[in-house]
Amino acid sequence: MGEVNLLENYPKTKRNLEERRESKTEEDRKVARRFGREFFDGDRRFGYGGFSYHPRFWQPVIPAFQQFYQLNSQSRVLDVGCAKGFMLHDFRTVIPGIHVAGVDVSQYAIAQAIDDVKPYVCVANAKELPFEDKSFDLVISINTIHNLSLKHCKEALHELQRVSCGYAFITVDAYRNAEEKERMDMWNLTAQTYMHVDEWIALFKEVGYQGDYYWFIP
């Protein structure tokens, strides 16, 4: 288990946190946490404001995963919180023949999945994954498990560990000081669990999560 930034090549966006804090209401958060059409392709106040594929997002990132975890055409990769499957699509593009699977709590996102990954994705919750023990060489979960309550977050970490026979990598909302916590408070739309990085690390040890991790800090 270790802290490693495998998303370094993901495009950076400039965030207006003050505007976000002023514009987001509890009703907006309630709608966003349904993870339906409104969150992905509805008004910007509920989430993405339009969630569509572009290779500039994940294709620059895949080689970092490929090299770090020594992935090849025989590898089995699971994306927990795969949304419309864009990252899985790019895994298949960059590493031809790789075996992929994805789950997402959103029925809408799975129904709208990019065509070539539709056979490999399904609706499921991270706290109860529909796979046998040790089914995957690498389990990835990007900005997903923090959307669960603390209790269910612990269950999800158990599940990620259970279905992995090799490696796991997650990113979660976190902060390292009071200033970063204030920024996270302004940014947060869907997360139910976000903590100081030391608290996350303690939680990983508590539940026996042995994979790698990194932080989303706006």
pLDDT, tens digit, 9 for 90 and up, residues 58-91: 999 999 999 999 999 999 999 999 999 999 999 9
Residue 174 in domain: yes
Give pLDDT, residue 29.
93
CATH number at residue 59: 3.40.50.150
Residue 47 in domain: no
Give pLDDT, residue 1.
76
Number of folded domains that form the chain: 1
The pTM for the full model equals 0.95
Q: Which is nearest to 181 in space by CA: 197, 201, 204, 170?
A: 197
| Domain span holding position 83 | 55-216
CA trace torsion 150, 128, 210, 153 (10° rounding): -10
Residue 127 in domain: yes
Residue 154 in domain: yes
Residue 26 in domain: no
Residue 70 in domain: yes
Token digits of residue 74: 């025989």
pLDDT, tens digit, 9 for 90 and up, residues 89-100: 999 999 999 999
Give pLDDT, residue 118.
98
Residue 86 in domain: yes
Residue 30 in domain: no
